[in-house]
Structure 1
């Protein structure tokens, strides 16, 4: 089962996080934008559309009813489904976006296999996430039980995500990073740098490789 319980119960708290940490949120949007390809895209784990809307993505997948309703109200076409079982035709999209989604799926390998299946030849997946080895990743893990969302989360390192992407048919990797302080201490939009290992929020772009 997709981990939707906290998103159903604490919808307003989820939304309020983006208001309270506006500059962190904008920094993450800008980082994703750096690696986002052109073409027809879909966001898996679209939530309330906080990323799809500013990035111009018209399609989303979301298991939470309350989150899906918010996205639909913003004009996004939302499919109610889990990431591991996408009711989407093969090779339908030029790119797939997942932002802070991989830590909430039940089976990340299956999620990446499904992502690859719905990508067109040469298509790309773009993944934004909190690296578990970063300062923010360590903070979230240390305080998991205090947070209604992250107590359900499984955090990954960049190396772990890359290894699993390679294993499921992806290559040609690009990386950017941002969020260099804890969100409570961020008072302006953070820079976006190439690579990973410094910033807590990492974005990976990987291309579908034909086997």
Structure 2
């Protein structure tokens, strides 16, 4: 099955859960992608989306590498601040239930395994969102 995030090839209210993991920064129209996710979720359904926010240490690091042409992976990425992302999510009809994050150390540090922590303080943030039953 072929499709695009902005025009999903599924019927309305098809899924209980949808995931957008490191996706929002790569799609052509992130708001339309979120609206499509909303459309294909059943009432009470959940969207899990994880991002590297622009206003995080790693987001700034990747944006600078992109600007200097050092990152092939992120050259087509558009990073969003936590505020911009939450505004898009809410405008698309979602309610933020909770957030958890990792990467609470700077890019210059040696990587290490860390447990996710409630909140948005880290540089890789996952949001659990709901589509209300009445939608």
**TM-score over 0.5 (shorter chain):** yes
Aligned equivalents of 2:97, 2:81: Cα separation in 1: 15
The superposition leaves residues 10-59 of structure 1 with CA deviations (integer Å, 9 ceiling, x where unpaired) of xxxxxxxxxxxxxxxxxxxxxxxxxxxxxxxxxxxxxxxxxxxxxxxxxx
Q: For the structure 1 residues 172 and 153, does the alpha-carbon distance in structure 2 shift closer, same or farther, using more than 3 Å as the test?
A: closer
In the alignment, does 2:52 pair up with 1:130? Answer: yes
In the alignment, does 2:13 pair up with 1:88? Answer: no
Q: For the structure 1 residues 183 and 83, does the alpha-carbon distance in structure 2 shift closer, same or farther, using more than 3 Å as the test?
A: farther
Q: For the structure 1 residues 205 and 183, does the alpha-carbon distance in structure 2 shift closer, same or farther, using more than 3 Å as the test?
A: farther
Instruction: Report the counterpart of residue 31 of structure 2 in structure 1.
Output: 109
Q: Structure 2 stretches of 5 or more lacking a match?
A: none
Aligned equivalents of 2:108, 2:28: Cα separation in 1: 27
What is the TM-score with the length of structure 1 in the denominator? 0.59
Aligned mate of 1:176, from 100, 117, 120 = 100
Matched pairs, number: 131
Instruction: Report the counterpart of residue 160 of structure 1 in structure 2.
Output: 84
Q: For the structure 1 residues 148 and 113, does the alpha-carbon distance in structure 2 shift closer, same or farther, using more than 3 Å as the test?
A: same
Spell out structure 1 runs of 4+ moving beyond 4 A: none
CA drift at 1:173:
2.4
Instruction: Report the counterpart of residue 47 of structure 1 in structure 2.
Output: none
What is the TM-score with the length of structure 2 in the denominator? 0.91
Q: For the structure 1 residues 184 and 100, does the alpha-carbon distance in structure 2 shift closer, same or farther, using more than 3 Å as the test?
A: farther
Instruction: Report the counterpart of residue 123 of structure 2 in structure 1.
Output: 200
Greater relative CO (CA pairs within 8 A, separation 6+)? 2
CA drift at 1:172:
4.1
Aligned equivalents of 1:86, 1:137: Cα separation in 2: 28
State the superposition RMSD in angstroms: 1.5
Aligned equivalents of 1:183, 1:113: Cα separation in 2: 37
Q: For the structure 1 residues 193 and 112, does the alpha-carbon distance in structure 2 shift closer, same or farther, using more than 3 Å as the test?
A: same
